[in-house]
Every structure is written in structure tokens, then in C-alpha cells.
């Protein structure tokens, strides 16, 4: 893989590296929304939402279309939905692994602390 592709990927993932941006993308995966709708759904200040949307727009992850006095935001590429689903699955896999490890520690701890008959 060439260096330009690696740089693109790094910049792309940096653009996703904020919890509010991820939440915004999850909301847009459900359908197009304006800033006020996004703000209400995330329970955040409009300036914070606008700031994150600006970053996502700059990286061509979302686009905005003016409709009257509102800007409607949409995902530029529907594959973002798949990417978020894969990220969720990776998280779930890590969670399952962590739970398995914790269960093993508990079993080992129970063996150590159990009174012997």
C-alpha cells in the first residue's frame, strides 16, 4: 500500500476520533438531519455540534445541503454505516474477550479463597 493511502486512512480515522462525531454519524446513519435535530438528539450545545460537523465536512465524511434557512446533513458515503457496524462488532468482540478473562480470574480467585475440606 502506498504512503498516500496510509495518510488518507490516518486522516480519515483522526476525523472519526471523537465521541460526539461518532454519535453524529450514528444519527445520520438513521437519516438526514439538520443541526437542531442533531443537537436535540445528542443533548449537546449547538456550537459543539456545529464544530464537529465542520470537521466531518472538511474530511468529506458528511455533506450539507441548504434547505431554506436550515442545512441538512447527510453521510457522503453510505459505507460509513457499515464501518460503524464493524467498529461496534470489534468492540463487542473485545468486550466478550474481557468478560472471559474476568470470569477466568474469578474462577482462579474462587479456587484460591475457597476453604478446603
Q: How much is the pTM?
A: 0.77
Contact 87, 80 (CB under 8 A): no
Q: Mention the CATH class of domain 1-77.
A: mainly alpha
CA 33 and chain centroid, separation: 17
Domain parsing of the chain, residue ranges: 1-77, 78-117
3-state secondary structure at position 2: coil
Tens digit of pLDDT per residue, the chain (117 long)? 699 999 999 999 999 999 999 999 999 999 999 999 999 999 987 799 999 999 999 999 999 999 999 999 999 999 999 999 999 899 888 887 788 888 887 777 776 776 665
* CB within 8 Å of 33: residues ≥ 6 apart: 27, 41, 72, 73
For 61-94, what is each residue's pLDDT tens digit? 999 999 999 999 999 999 999 999 999 899 888 8
Amino acid at each position: 500500500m502506498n504512503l498516500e493511502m496510509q495518510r488518507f486512512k490516518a486522516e480519515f480515522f483522526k476525523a472519526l476520533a471523537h465521541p460526539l462525531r461518532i454519535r453524529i454519524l450514528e444519527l445520520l446513519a438513521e437519516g438526514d438531519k439538520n443541526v437542531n435535530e442533531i443537537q436535540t438528539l445528542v443533548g449537546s450545545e449547538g456550537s459543539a455540534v456545529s464544530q464537529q460537523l465542520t470537521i466531518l465536512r472538511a474530511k468529506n465524511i458528511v455533506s450539507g445541503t441548504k434547505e431554506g434557512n436550515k442545512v441538512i446533513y447527510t453521510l457522503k458515503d453510505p459505507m460509513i454505516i457499515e464501518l460503524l457496524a464493524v467498529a461496534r462488532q470489534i468492540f463487542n468482540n473485545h468486550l466478550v474477550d474481557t468478560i472471559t478473562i474476568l470470569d477466568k480470574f474469578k474462577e482462579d480467585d474462587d479456587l484460591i479463597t475457597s476453604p478446603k475440606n
